[in-house]
């Protein structure tokens, strides 16, 4: 599923107009300052469910629009 989102972005979005990061796997960067640099974060429900929302770290440390 993640690969499909990446393919759709690369197919339908003008190159360089939006940045994205695939937030998945054991080497994913959980630093909010790093994640803020991207327009789109692509991840899975499983990754979100494993995150501690109360801890307000990683993806949950950022106020998204």
65 residues of the chain, pLDDT tens digit each? 899 999 999 999 999 999 999 999 999 999 999 999 999 999 999 988 887 666 677 888 888 77
Q: How far is CA 45 from CA 4, 14, 30, in A?
A: 15, 27, 16
Strands 20-22 and 40-42 come out as parallel
- pTM, rounded to two decimals: 0.83
For residue 53, how many other CB atoms are within 10 A of its CB? Answer: 11
State the DSSP code for 49. Answer: H
* Bridge partner residues of 21 (DSSP): 41
Determine the 3-state secondary structure of 40 from DSSP: strand
Q: For tokens 């991207």, what's the residue?
A: 38
């Amino acid at each position: 599923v993640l690969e499909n989102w990446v393919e759709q972005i690369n197919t339908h979005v003008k190159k360089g107009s939006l940045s994205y990061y695939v937030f998945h796997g054991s080497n994913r960067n959980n630093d909010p300052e790093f994640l803020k640099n991207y327009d789109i974060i692509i991840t899975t429900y499983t990754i979100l469910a494993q995150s501690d929302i109360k801890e307000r770290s990683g993806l949950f440390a950022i106020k998204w629009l």
